[in-house]
């Protein structure tokens, strides 16, 4: 059964009296039907966050008219805001290196309809997954990366992303540190899965670092990519308990299951417009 078309309004602004009333009155004045509403007031930051889903068919105008008519209200409350249309599926470009588990999981969720997005292409610095990706009838691009060609390679990745009109770039165990240029160009649009419970064990071989430290919990973190390595706003995390009898190989094996689940949840929150970023923190309306 096809889902009902909805407009999703997200916003944040300085906290004050009347925000909810103003937004609700705007929707109600046009006979709009709010089917989901979530709010959060951050007392420390003195900032208010909101997400509303509105039945598109209940409004007498389209999304462009919505934007135009809502703009004066947004300006009066100094809102940072956006409204999206569920009929326009997010276009997700996946980047991967040699590890397959996150790629396989995302494509399985996409193929089953659980992940309601379009995947216009997969990009890799290795050629090993070409047949698998193309079997799914998804274009595959091999863009090798070496220390001498990294800048040109990332320029090509950005060109491909723009050419296919990507909305979000997912690093599904793409084992390359992106350039500051790339991070700045797509702020809030690049999602990474890091195989540790950040902020612990950043960088390479975090499972080995965790093993050497003797931790009793290991996990994974889905976060937005910034120029600071593994330090971007966190979207989702999870952990699994380990003990002294577990080897590094055990930690890696346990971690793969967590990585898949955490990345899938984090990506779903993003494409459903459930994540609002403020500074280096996120508000996630589940």
List the catalytic residues. 230
DSSP state of 115: S
Residue 181 in tokens: 């240029």
Residues in Cβ contact with 280 at an 8 Å cutoff, skipping those fewer than 6 apart: 231, 232, 233
Strand order of the sheet with strand 47-55? Answer: 34-42, 47-55, 6-14, 80-85
Residues in Cβ contact with 29 at an 8 Å cutoff, skipping those fewer than 6 apart: none
**Of 85, 88, 93, residue with least CA distance to 163:** 93
Residues in Cβ contact with 132 at an 8 Å cutoff, skipping those fewer than 6 apart: 100, 103, 104
How far is residue 90's CA from residue 24's CA, in Å, rounded to a whole number? 26
Residues in Cβ contact with 206 at an 8 Å cutoff, skipping those fewer than 6 apart: 194, 195, 196, 200
Phi and psi at 58, nearest 5°, equal -80, -15
Q: What is the C-alpha radius of gyration for the chain, rounded to an integer number of angstroms?
A: 21
How far is residue 30's CA from residue 277's CA, in Å, rounded to a whole number? 29
């Amino acid at each position: 059964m096809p889902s009902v078309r909805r407009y999703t309004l997200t916003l944040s602004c300085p906290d004050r009296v009347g925000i909810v009333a103003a937004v609700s009155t705007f929707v109600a004045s046009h006979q709009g039907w709010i089917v989901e509403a979530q709010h959060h007031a951050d007392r420390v930051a003195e900032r208010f966050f909101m997400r509303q889903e509105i039945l598109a068919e209940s409004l007498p105008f389209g999304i462009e008219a919505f934007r135009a008519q809502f703009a004066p209200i947004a300006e009066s409350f100094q809102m940072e805001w956006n409204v999206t249309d569920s009929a326009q599926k997010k276009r997700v470009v996946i980047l991967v290196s040699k590890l397959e588990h996150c790629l396989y999981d995302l494509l399985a969720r996409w193929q089953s309809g659980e992940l309601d997005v379009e995947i216009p292409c997969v990009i890799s610095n290795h050629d090993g997954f070409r047949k698998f990706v193309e079997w799914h009838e998804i274009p595959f691009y091999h863009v090798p990366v070496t220390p001498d060609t990294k800048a040109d390679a990332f320029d090509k990745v950005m060109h491909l992303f723009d050419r296919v009109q990507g909305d979000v770039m997912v690093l599904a165990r793409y084992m390359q540190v992106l350039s500051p240029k790339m991070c700045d160009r797509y702020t809030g649009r690049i999602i990474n899965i890091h195989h540790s419970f950040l902020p612990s064990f950043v960088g390479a071989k975090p499972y080995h670092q965790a093993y050497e430290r003797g931790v009793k919990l290991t996990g994974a973190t889905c976060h937005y990519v910034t120029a600071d390595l593994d330090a971007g706003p966190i979207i989702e995390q999870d952990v699994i308990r380990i003990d002294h009898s577990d080897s590094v190989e055990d930690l890696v094996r346990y971690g793969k299951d967590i990585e898949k689940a955490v990345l899938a949840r984090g990506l779903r929150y993003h494409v459903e417009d459930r994540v609002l970023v403020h500074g280096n923190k996120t508000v996630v309306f589940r």
